[in-house]
Structure 1
């Protein structure tokens, strides 16, 4: 599968809520670099993160644009996160079902035909403004 198709499959699985299918597309040694916080290394920690996110947020990504370099070992995606804040996340405002719409982007490293690094960026201050109101 080419790089753009790999990234599209990853986000198709995300939008379908199929986190196991997302994990299948990841390299065993995946590194997950989050917007705020440390680096998660390995599929097990990525799976834990997905479980937590599924409990606290319901999100669908739209306006997806995927880019890849010529060799296919680097990629990026730009999109809009359309979400609902379901369950209070530690250190964040109380969840009351607030909705939000937020531009975001992710950078990827591809190794052995799998996603080896996921680095996502979004504006946390803007998210806070939307959920606090």
Structure 2
């Protein structure tokens, strides 16, 4: 058994697509119209056949309070691994990305938390010693 798709709820699929591709560097895997929304997935360019991230519309009534509670408590909706968090942080800040937490050591990892502009916090992780 493998993880095929994981979701992150986004307030605006087009805005999320721009953020996740242009700024974070993911690539579109699927972009299929489904009613007023899209089946919109992105993948890492380093693993184009790997796990897809579904940019899921936040329309369900339970999603808005769920996302608000996560952000209020500082809990990331998802986490991505990077090779050099300090360089990635500098690159993203230069592109105007807002961070809720700058890079810091946390046990076996260095981590930072960014705002995806679509209602979520996203954690970036670098494994120490990797």
Q: Shorter chain as normaliser: what TM range?
A: under 0.3
TM-score where L is the length of structure 2: 0.26
TM-score where L is the length of structure 1: 0.26
